[in-house]
Structure 1
């Protein structure tokens, strides 16, 4: 059993985490197609936040404030949110392969977003995040029904297999909608977006992404003991007096909500919700009091780093961030699997 952490220790960890995150955000702003000195970044922030009055090039100031800062903040929020979603689903389903991408939630959110953007469902009355959330809920509902009616495997295996089928179905629906209804320019833009695209991120996206992650963190902290109990099974959770159905509904709705928000902003990004919780468990153990904040921090750092790489790997070209997360996430996940097999 781990010893309780003193208030001083908690404060030190909080300060350390904020410092690391601030350094990562500074790097995300300064590094890119055009390098910008950290001093210029800090002076721009001082001008915008406190009207410091530094004399700066308007182009540099615009790049920092209007483009790179919101992009970096959304990347961090998206990484934190997807890591939390993976953590929730892995605990509830007791399956290390559970994540929004694999369970069809991300694919369903993409289909819902494309229905709004291309087909115009709702006549302009339904926003992109609402469409994405509806698609995510429908996708997971379909996966849950399919898993419940299937036979011959454990519950967690059933839902993983159903999730794979659901992902393929909704990915096919998305491709069909794009092919049938989108113009060539729309199709090119949407396909790039579906691979994970932060190029169109502005401050309006920040005000969606950060509150969504804050809500997810609060929900996970509120249910942290329930998440600990679910890792031993729903029967164990029920024996401890936890309302299993209600708790599971709230947590899955939270995961679907966060996934939908992130997909509506940046498209589908895989491996974050799969790899980050695994890696963090090796660092801090399986108690969700530590897992939740550490997963959010590591997820944010991971996606900010991936965004930086997407801008500098190919000169004059920005890669979809989903390509970077797959190139990094797949080998890392393979190493985690090999390590787990050796430990057993």
Structure 2
């Protein structure tokens, strides 16, 4: 792939799943305290010039955010420039009309800074919670993405599916003042990529393990599928975990316990065996983890964007009970040192090769 034509247009931001966090003193925060800490982290992200801040949706004791748009609304009242997005909204177990209404309202409250990333999420607790059968796992997402893709046009919708009532020439309110940017998060299966392309939607590739280069096939598939379906080129984004500190050693030592905590919980819930320091060090050296000093992480992000032809990078900055103070320091280094260096590197590569961008609009 090629370096983006205009590196300054590359979007660099952060996201969080809303893990219940702690303080460096060892005190574990309550979910309410975690919500307020997330708002403070987003305010800092805005102050250091990051492009967007994302929040995931979960319905579990280890995560504080069940309604991303509520927290994003609080953030919007305290920030000026940063764009605000879900990361992700679990569309399968929600009603697309209500999702669109809520984010349309957020778009109005924040003067056009709202975005939405829809997906199926990493966990399945929302299905029984809201009365949906896991037997309909695929059907629910297919059906609701089809409806949601029509809602975001802002035009009257006539639609009939299998998982909710049909609509007949229905306008949905409130109408946003500007179009609502919407992405589909995919975990790296061809079917998910093609599904998003069928609706002409941009994708976020969730790269949490292995080498980012192995996702180039999915980036290429998305571009080809968009063309085959007759859609215009769409942006491509990347989401990966990471953590920034003054040195590589400090970053790895500080981040590993909390990342391992989250990975072991996720892995064991699916029959896995946990997550070792050796595996972490491999992932932080050559894999998906963007962990290290600004001098180490910036070139790796630039390489990922270049390899995939992507125009957006989202760093998942929190993990497990990682202290709020560490999150703040990481966000500050990411915004003040990593992001400018990524753009500088991309600019140098574009100038040296004369390539043009394929990943964004």
Q: Give the structure with the larger strand fraction.
A: 2
TM-score (norm 2): 0.26
With a CA cutoff of 8 Å and minimum separation of 6, indicate the structure with the bigger relative contact order: 1
Rg larger for: 1
Q: Give the structure with the larger helix fraction.
A: 1
TM-score (norm 1): 0.27
